Amino acid sequence: MSATPVYIICSPSPQVGKTLVSRLVSEFLLLKHGTALSFDVNLKEPSLVDYLPNITETADVIDTYGKMQLMDRLIINDGVAKVIDLGFHAFDEFFKMCEEIGFMKEAVRRHIAPLVLFVAGTDRVSSRSYEMLRWQIPPGALITVHNEFVLRSELPEAMNGARVLRFSPLPVFLKTFVDRLSFSFTGYLRNEKDSSAELHQWIRRNYTMFRDLELMVMLQRSA
């Protein structure tokens, strides 16, 4: 039985590009599989549901009801890849809940493949939170995201492990372009005929990273 991937895009720090990564992952999955389901756990707007309203639901982990509603959707091996855009305000509560209910072990038992994409920052909160995840999340399921538009320096040494996804920075005018609510990465690939254009190559490179990551995880799960 094939495992259903669940991508948890997270950071304890604001303004690190987490929703941008969530958009990219969601659109990649939709393009590759024809379907995807995303969950927006954010307070501020615009957020993932504003960019991808057709495949995104809002969720919260404020109370027990909200937590159970979300977990019930994540723990089903239905073949639909899922993405969680986890707001920094919910970071601690979400992973506390995962630890309390044994989410990672239950996911393996139910043929779910969770992937935690930790968007790195240089502040102390980011470093402490990453160390916490290293104890809680199996090494193969914890991936560091280096968004070079936000973090132009090298990654902190503790985060620079074997699994790092590096997103090269876009020029400011292109970043402003992709931040529009109406912008679609896949739509741009389909409509832009010049494959040498900088944005075209940037999107393709990131989609290739996700393809390779998913393939590696699926091979591990089937081994």
Render pLDDT for 32-63 as a digit per residue (tens, 0 to 9). Answer: 999 999 999 998 777 999 999 999 999 999 89
Q: Which CATH number fits the domain that encloses residue 147?
A: 3.40.50
C-alpha span between 140 and 156 (Å, rounded):
19
- CB-neighbour burial class of residue 63 (10 A; exposed 0-12, middle 13-18, buried 19+): exposed
pLDDT given at position 214: 87
How many structural domains compose the chain? Answer: 1
Q: What is the pTM (predicted TM-score) of this model?
A: 0.94
C-alpha span between 10 and 179 (Å, rounded):
19
Q: Which domain holds residue 60?
A: 4-222
pLDDT given at position 221: 63
Residue 126 has pLDDT above 60, yes or no: yes
**pLDDT band of 145, cuts 50, 70, 90:** very high
What is the average pLDDT value for the chain, to the nearest integer? 91
**pLDDT band of 222, cuts 50, 70, 90:** low
Quick one: which of 96, 47, 105, 99 has its CA closest to 75? 105
